Amino acid sequence: MSLPAGSLSGGVPAAIALTPILSARYHAEHLALIREAAPGARLVNVSLEGLADDADLEEVE
C-alpha cells in the first residue's frame, strides 16, 4: 500500500510546521502533546515568510 506524500503509517503526517506564535516560544508540554498525537512526525520551525532552515516543506501538513 502506498501512502500519500508527506504521510507516515496510520495517517500520521511526516512533518508538522510550527509557526511563530505570540509568546515566541513553544512550551515543552505542548510539544509533548503534539509528539504524542503524531508519533514519528518531524516538527519543523517555519518563519513568518514560510521558510524553513533545514527541512523540505513538501512533507509538512
What pTM was estimated for this model as a whole? Answer: 0.68
Domain boundaries, position 32: 9-59
Q: For each of the chain's 61 residues, which pLDDT tens digit applies?
A: 444 555 677 778 888 888 887 666 788 898 999 999 999 998 888 888 888 877 677 777 6
3-state SS assignment for residue 28: helix
**Residue 1, domain member (yes or no):** no
Q: 34 to each of 1, 2, 29, 49, how far by Cα in Å?
A: 26, 25, 9, 23
Domain count, the chain: 1
**Residue 45, domain member (yes or no):** yes
pLDDT of residue 61: 67
pLDDT of residue 24: 66
